Structures are given as C-alpha cells and as structure tokens.
Amino acid sequence: MAAGTSMFADREIVLGVTGGIAAYKAAALASALVQDGAQVTAVLSPNARRFVGAATFAALTGRPVATRSFDPRYPLGAHIELAARADLVVVAPASADFLAKAAAGAADDLLTTLVLCAECPLVVAPAMNAAMWAKAAVRRNVERVAADGATIVQPGTGWLSCRQRGAGRMAEPDEILAALRTVLAARPPRSR
C-alpha cells in the first residue's frame, strides 16, 4: 500500500522500547511503520539501549531518539511534547518492569512518564521469560494495564533467549502492526 493511502500515513507514532532481547523486533516494527507512512519517534528505556542502540532507531525513523526526561530539544519536556503529538503510543517490547510501573501509575523515566501523559491509545506488546510471564504478579499487571484502556498484543510461544521454549515471546512485528491498524481504524486522524 502506498504511504499516502496507508492507515499510518502521516500518523504520529511513539514507539517505546524497553529492555529485552526482543528489542531487535522493535527495530523491524519501526522500519515497517515508516515504510507505511508513519512518523515514528522512538523512546528507549535505559535498559533498551543495552540491547539495541539509539543510532539504529534514528536511522530507521529519520528522527532523533528520545532517551532522557530532561532533553533540551523539548523545552516543555519530552514526555509532554511527544505525548501531545502522538496519535498512538506502542510499547514493544514491554518488559515485566514496564508493565509493573504502568499498572501502578509509576513514572520514573521518560517512557513511563510519557505513557501517563498520553491521551491517545496505548498498545502494549509484552515480552519476557516464560517463568516471568507465568507469574501471578505479571498477569495482574497485564490485566490492570488492559483495564486502564491499553490494547495488549499477547506474546506467543516459541524459542526464548533463555534457551527454552515457552510463552512470553513478543508478538511478531506483523501481528503488532495489525493491532495498530485496528486501533487507528477506530480513531480518525487528528487535524494538525
């Protein structure tokens, strides 16, 4: 589909990336969104930068990557400016730590503060070890985040970085894109 006729054409997407090996899939997601016409700004948690560098997302999106709460490029605050212009926020991968913070309304870094500030839809794609995914606390946090209005793209089952097979593998970029299309279809583009 040409960028001009895409569901993502000229939509502002904030892509939050948290720590986990699945961060490499977030790079593929960023690329697919941009190719489909979206304007993407990546927000990397400190742990995400241990897996995939900011330069990767800057190259794929053509935009600076946001990594700090106090960034002089955003005089009003990165969390405020990015949230205000976002049509949608997607967090992929969403770590157990992020889910716990989002469920509790905690805001101790740029991404969690931005999520609290955003008034647009939130889509979350969890990714973690199978033992973590099975924990009652994680399940409660996922349920709370969903109850608060987020769309959850459930993880799949497969080979995990812990060298085991199990549930917790982040959904594939195409599955996440399908969820984003569904969410945006219910929301007309904002006038800019």
Distance, CA of 168 to CA of 154 (rounded, Å): 8
CB 152 within 8 A of CB 170: no
From the list 162, 166, 172, 175, the catalytic residue is 162
Query: Is residue 120 annotated as a catalytic residue, yes or no?
Result: no
| Contact (Cβ atoms closer than 8 angstroms) between residue 18 and residue 95 | yes
Rg of the chain, C-alpha, whole Å: 15
Both tokens of 60, joined, read 């794929």
Separation in Å, CA 120 to CA 2, 20, 134, 142: 25, 25, 29, 19
Catalytic residues: 162
